[in-house]
Structure 1
Amino acid sequence: MLLLTLAGPVAAADGPAVKLSAAQAGTGGSVTVSGTGWRPHALLMMLVCGRATPSRGVIGGTNSCANGDGRAVTTDARGAFSRALPVAEPPVPCPCVVHVATVTGAKAETDAVLRVAGHPVAPLPAVRAGGRLAVLSDTRLTGSSGLLTWFGAPPGRALVLTVGNSGTSPIENPVFQVGTAHGVFAPQWDDRQWHGTLAPGKKTRIKLPVELSAGAHGDYTVSLKYGGRVLAEQPWHVGRPWGVTLFWLLLCLVVPAALFRIGMALVDRVRPRRPGGASRRRPGNPAPRPPRPAPPRPRSRAARQAPPPMTPTLPWFDPESAPGGPAGRLSAPPDDSPTSPTTPTPKGPT
């Protein structure tokens, strides 16, 4: 297990290791760095750093390294690598080391002593007695995103890790720095204080909140720093807030439809009417239905049984006796007509 302390990293016997092809080199030369025991297919960064020893690590972090002349390397399937590294003078005096650390994934690092010819050497600052905080287990992010995060709310997690005090004095209310980095950008650090006292030789489990900005999505890296040293890193993939995209899509559909309906209502109010009060029907509107006729009233039983009334036929409705016809205009009444004045009335015997 890899142990990270404020005073410097302490690697286990079976942990990552590196060795150099030469213990001393001058500026402008190069050394071959070989490593074993790393994670398979891990991305590593190699730097020449000053004010550092394998026991205390790099004092001041990467600010003490020649960052412009560093080299990246990827381990093979067995966790080994070999790569030439140009020798450059670090911005601080020696003692110097070749610092190798992982770029992504679980934090792992180690150092190999390198004497840079012609570079000044200065003694390291004295170690202050007191508590020393160490990470005893791998860190992890706990928690999940809710419905509001799907609509753009700030995503949040909790950074959980176990730390121990390997020093000789207690540590009270330590202040950590939690940083979040998006992609290749530098992390943004926020102070997180843990309230409590950690006695020498004791360990405890701490939980620190981590929160991103609203609408954040993509690949992030959460880092933990204490006393100027990065103790752990944890990747974090944040999903895209699809609810925001759905909201804008609906807005682009609803607003034009509402404006169209309002415009049609205004046009219907201001356009002139046709004479007679009849208005033009809109396309698609059904025509009004005619009123239903009233059902016939039921007749009484006597009315249903009575024969239909006889309609008298007028004499001029007869085709032969219609007014203006030849029969009605020239012919005389028949002889057997009871109303004829020329027909004698038969008399009986007297």
Structure 2
Amino acid sequence: MSGGARIPALAAVLALLLLPLAGPAAAAGGPVVRLSASQAGTGGSSQAGTGGSVTARGSGWRPGTLLMLLVCGRATPSRGVIGGTNSCANGDGRAVTTDAHGSFTRKLPVAEPPVPCPCVVHVATVTGAKAEADAVLQVAGHPVAPLPAETSGGRLSILSDTRLTGSGGVLTWFGAPPGRTLEFTAGNVGTSPLQDPVFRVGTAHGVFAPRWDEQQWHGTLAPGRKALVRLPVELSAGAHGGYTVSLEYDGRVIAEQPWEVGRPWGVTLFWLLLCLVVPAAVFRAGMAVVDRVRPRRPGGVRHRRLPHPASRPARSRTSGPGPAPTLPWFTPGSVPGDPAGRLSAPHHDSPTSPPTPTPKGPT
């Protein structure tokens, strides 16, 4: 082999040796998602009709991370998804968990989003630190509309993770509306100042769509400056369970924060006591009514009260026994028609007295 032939051969060997290192180097730039080449359309994008499917392959993600794949409209990789998940076909999304190398492969059905294209396959983390990536997708037969023009001048960017501060009080334990404060650090990366920016704060329970509330931050953010923004967040009375607080600015969801709201156990305790006290009170009232309308027994009394000890006659302890009771002897004349008392009780002679002689009359 000549010297001229050895140089291309050595170059080919070096290229093969350096090829495996190209993947980690590319992955170091951030998470990436690509669609299957068999469905590639014009301009490097993928094209598929409703009812079909595309295969998404990702790399550069954190290992063991749960991801959500959605087909979204009004979106581009440079501007992201305008309108957040409200612009996506949420009912046809798919979930996938990355492997030990931060890669994944998942087949995703093509569905029409609720807004016109341009469309993308949006991949975002479900738990942990927020990360997302988009791949352009052309949905055949779906309408296409131009995106809203970008506002010139100031551009707001979130420089720190959002957090919820504050805690509930005693009234919240009894069903009062729970409230928190959404805090984050915002910076102006544009060329002109931002004055009194208006945010939209949404609260969503479970899989339901968020309820949005406009919140205006009063202040001026100069170019290259940052500031701490605090926005109040409040739920309805008696709310409990898992909630998600979303932050939207300029038609784009820029942050999401989970919120686990405890159950108002004071309300449960109140109803438990009510179920015990009310039946007891009704039972006592019913027994009182029955006691009043119940008829008396013959010869008896309904209520017997013993006399007070102070009203009883005092018995003298120093006096001796009283006189013996006398027998009720009949006295003469006590019987009608017997003035002489012949019908009175017979008189028994004493055994010691002599017998009374009977007078004899003349014969």
Establish whether TM, by shorter chain, passes 0.5.
yes
- Distance in 2, matches of 1:289 and 1:280, equals 13
In structure 1, list runs of 5 or more residues that go unmatched. 1-11, 282-286, 300-307, 312-322, 333-350
Contact persistence 1:27–1:89 (CA under 8 A)? no
**Match of 1:92?**
116
Q: 1:15 to 1:272 in 2, by over 3 A?
A: same
Give the Å deviation of 1:209: 0.7
Determine which of 233, 245, 253 is the counterpart of 2:268: 245
**Equivalent in the alignment of 1:320:** none
**SS at structure 2 position matched to 1:27:** strand
Selected match of 1:20 from 35, 43, 58: 35
- Relative distance call for 1:191 and 1:273 in structure 2 (3 A) is same
Counterparts in 2 of 1:327 and 1:238: CA distance versus 1, 3 Å: same
1:133-152 equivalences under 5 Å are 133-152=156-175
Matching residue of 2:352: 328
State the Cα deviation string for residues 143-193 of structure 1 (Å, max 9, x = none).
111111111111111111111111111111111111111100000001111
Q: Deviations over 1:122-153 (max 9, x none)?
A: 76555432111111111111111111111111
In structure 1, what residue type is equivalent to 2:234?
E
One-letter amino acid of the counterpart of residue 48, structure 2:
T
What is the CA deviation profile of residues 238-260 of structure 1, one whole-angstrom value per residue up to 9, with x for unaligned ones?
A: 11111111111111111121122
Instruction: Map residues 226-241 of structure 1 onto 2, 5 A cutoff.
Output: 226-241=249-264
User: Residues 39 and 152 (structure 1 numbering): CA distance in 2 closer, same or farther, change over 3 Å?
Assistant: farther
Any conservation in 2 of the 1:105–1:234 contact (CA below 8 Å)?
Answer: no
Tell me the C-alpha RMSD between the 2 structures: 3.6
Structure 2, gaps ≥5 residues long: 1-26, 324-346, 357-363
1:55 positional shift: 2.0
Is 1:137–1:161's contact at 8 Å kept on the other side of the alignment?
yes
User: 1:156 corresponds to which residue?
Assistant: 179
1:209–1:50 distance in 2 versus 1, CA, 3 Å: closer
Q: CA deviation at 1:33?
A: 1.8
Q: Could you tell me how far 1:270 is from its partner in structure 2?
A: 3.2
Q: Which residue number corresponds to residue 33 of structure 1?
A: 56
- How far off is 1:294 after superposition? 4.2
Q: Is residue 105–residue 235 contact of structure 1 (8 Å, CA) maintained in 2?
A: no
Report what 2:194 is aligned to: 171
Equivalent residue number for residue 82 of structure 1: 105
Does the aligned pair in 1 maintain the 2:48–2:138 contact within 8 Å? Answer: no
Cα distance per residue 1:51-85 (max 9 Å; x no partner): 54322223454565555654322334654322123
Equivalent-residue separation in structure 2 for 1:178 and 1:200 (angstroms): 24
2:225 to 194, 199, 202: 202
Q: 3-state SS of the aligned residue for 1:328?
A: coil
Taking a change above 3 Å as real, the CA distance of residues 290 and 170 of structure 1, as seen in their structure-2 partners, is same
1:261, distance to aligned residue in structure 2 (A): 1.9
Judge conservation of contact 2:195–2:221 (CA < 8 Å) in 1: yes
Paired AA for residue 168 in structure 1: T
The alignment's TM-score, normalised by the length of structure 1, stands at 0.71
Shift of 1:266: 2.6
Q: Secondary structure at the match of 2:352?
A: helix
Residue identity matched to 1:92: P
Cα deviation digits, residues 225-283 of structure 1 (max 9, x gap): 111111111111111111111111111111121122222223333334456783246xx
Report if the CA contact (8 A) 2:36-2:56 is conserved.
yes
1:218 maps onto 2:236 in alignment: no
Alignment CA distance shift 1:123-1:213 (3 Å): closer
Measure the CA separation in 2 of the matches of 1:271 and 1:48. 78
Distance 1:296 1:80 in 2: 110
* Secondary structure of the corresponding residue to residue 259 of structure 1: helix
**Alpha-carbon distance between aligned partners in 1 of 2:176 and 2:147, rounded to the nearest angstrom:** 47
Shift of 1:103: 3.9
Secondary structure of 2:213 counterpart? strand
**Distance in 1 separating the partners of 2:112 and 2:213:** 32
Counterparts of 1:162 and 1:81, CA distance in 2: 33
Q: TM-score, with normalisation over the residues of structure 2?
A: 0.68
